[in-house]
């Protein structure tokens, strides 16, 4: 998987921090020590070196090397490099890694030997310390990068956190005289599964919100109608897009009749726009209509 610009910038920052830590190590354990020995260290350098030495990872040379190795490991793990399964582990991992650690150990051994200066106040041991430190950390970095190329990592693959936000949901309907189960699809572990949204007690109310055409009727209202009628509930349905919901309600009303349910139930339609499709009801008592004028 390709790295984003933010990840590449973070990688470059950590990569820079590796060699910055080595530079600070040379400054503290080579330049400052040499300058103190010659008595030429300025007050600014002395102040900066004293503050730098207070950091735990610059309290000693061994701690500084361990910190540099930690940064290398951190950068190598966080690198989304192209996977190469055909790497030669011995030539590209084992040999560079072991050589790098040997060079880092030699750098620790080279440090602190006092000999005659041969180049700008540095002796052969000092130059061996510098070269061993640089070459050792480069070899360790290369070998750990090669390790990351053969390890399959999920790091950075879930860019939008889809996998971590997905979870198992009910896959079986909860059947009871009062429950309604809304069918749904949900994503979990790389698969789209069928599930249900159980509504245990609709008598408390159910508010369905959505813009026109978002599927409120199809996704929620229609399953509720089917299951409530199957449970022999009396319903009063306001059909805004008549006869969409009316047809579904009437079909399941007849289906329940065939199954021996709702035997003493009746189905009525009140359509104020088209009275011919309504059940006609006379709301007045005949006793009050004695003459044609009363009508």
Do 247 and 280 lie in one domain? The reply is yes
Q: Is pLDDT of 287 > 50? A: yes
Residue 293 in domain: yes
- Considering its fold, how many domains does the chain have in total? 3
Residues 262 and 186 in one domain: no
> Residue 79: its pLDDT value, please?
64
Does a structural domain hold residue 156?
no
pLDDT (0 to 100) of residue 127 = 85
pLDDT in tens, 250-283: 999 999 999 888 888 999 998 888 888 888 766 6
The reply to whether 78 and 197 lie within a common domain is: no
Residues 10 and 126 in one domain: yes
Q: What is the mean pLDDT of residues 131-148?
A: 88
Say if 177 falls within a structural domain.
Answer: yes
pLDDT at position 253: 93
Residue 243 preceded by cis peptide, ω within 30: yes
Q: Are residues 185 and 79 in the same domain?
A: no
pLDDT per position as a tens digit, 65-107:
899 889 888 888 766 555 555 677 788 888 889 999 999 999 8
Q: Look at residue 174 and tell me if it is in a domain.
A: yes
User: Predicted confidence band at 3 (pLDDT cuts at 50, 70, 90)?
Assistant: low
Q: In this predicted structure, what is the pLDDT of residue 156? A: 57
The domain of 16 spans: 5-150
Q: For residue range 15-71, what is the model confidence (pLDDT) as tens digits?
A: 888 888 889 888 888 878 777 766 677 788 778 888 888 888 888 888 888 998 898
CA distance linking residue 192 with residue 184, whole number of Å:
10
CA atoms of 17 and 23, how far apart (whole Å)? 10
- List all residues 6 or more positions away from 55 whose beta carbon is below 8 Å from its beta carbon: none
Q: Which of 150, 170, 190 is the last residue of a domain?
A: 150
DSSP code at position 234: -
134 and 9 housed in the same domain: yes
Count CB neighbours of 141 within 10 A. Answer: 22
Regarding whether 167 and 79 lie in a shared domain, the answer is: no
Q: First and final CA of the chain: distance in angstroms? A: 83
Per the DSSP assignment, residues forming a β-bridge with 196 are: 183
Q: What is the tens place of the pLDDT at every residue in 220-246?
A: 999 999 999 988 898 899 988 888 899
Same domain, 145 and 218: no
User: pLDDT tens, 159-206?
Assistant: 666 777 788 888 998 888 888 999 999 988 888 999 999 998 888 888
Q: Is residue 285 part of a domain?
A: yes
Q: State the pLDDT at residue 157.
A: 62
Report whether pLDDT(2) > 60: no
Q: What is the b/e burial string over 36-45, where b = at least 16 CB atoms within 10 angstroms of the residue's CB?
A: eeeeebeeee
pLDDT at residue 1 in the model: 47
> What's the predicted TM-score (pTM) here?
0.50
Please check whether residue 139 lies inside any domain of the structure: yes
In the prediction, which pLDDT does 223 show? 92
Tell me, what's the pLDDT at 139?
92
- 145 and 17 in a single domain? The answer is yes
**Do 9 and 137 fall within a single domain?**
yes
Are residues 79 and 14 located together in one domain of the fold?
yes
* Whether residues 198 and 231 fall in one domain: no
């Amino acid at each position: 998987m390709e790295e984003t610009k933010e990840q590449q910038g973070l990688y470059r920052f950590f990569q820079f921090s590796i060699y910055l830590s080595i530079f600070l190590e040379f400054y503290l354990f080579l330049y400052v020590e040499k300058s103190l020995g010659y008595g030429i260290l300025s007050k600014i350098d002395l102040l900066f070196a004293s503050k730098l030495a207070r950091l735990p990872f610059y309290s000693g040379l061994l701690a500084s090397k361990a910190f540099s190795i930690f940064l290398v490991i951190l950068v190598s793990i966080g690198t989304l490099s192209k996977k190469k399964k055909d790497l030669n582990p011995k030539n590209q991992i084992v040999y560079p890694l072991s050589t790098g650690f040997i060079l880092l150990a030699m750098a620790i051994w080279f440090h602190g030997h006092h000999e005659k200066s041969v180049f700008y106040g540095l002796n052969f041991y000092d130059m061996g310390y510098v070269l061993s430190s640089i070459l050792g950390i480069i070899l360790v970095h290369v070998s750990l990068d090669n390790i990351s190329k053969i390890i399959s990592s999920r790091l950075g693959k879930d860019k939008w956190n889809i996998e971590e936000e997905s979870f198992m949901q009910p896959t079986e309907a909860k059947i009871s005289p009062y429950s309604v189960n809304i069918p749904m699809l949900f994503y979990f572990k790389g698969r789209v599964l069928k599930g249900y949204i159980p509504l245990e007690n609709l008598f408390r109310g159910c508010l369905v919100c959505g813009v026109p055409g978002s599927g409120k009727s199809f996704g929620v209202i229609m399953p509720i109608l089917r299951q409530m009628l199957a449970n022999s509930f009396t319903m009063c349905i306001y059909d805004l897009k008549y006869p969409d919901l009316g047809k579904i309600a009437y079909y399941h009303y007849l289906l329940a009749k065939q199954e021996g349910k709702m035997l003493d139930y009746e189905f009525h339609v009140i359509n104020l726009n088209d009275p011919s499709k309504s059940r006609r009801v006379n709301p007045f008592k005949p006793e009050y209509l004695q003459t044609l004028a009363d009508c």
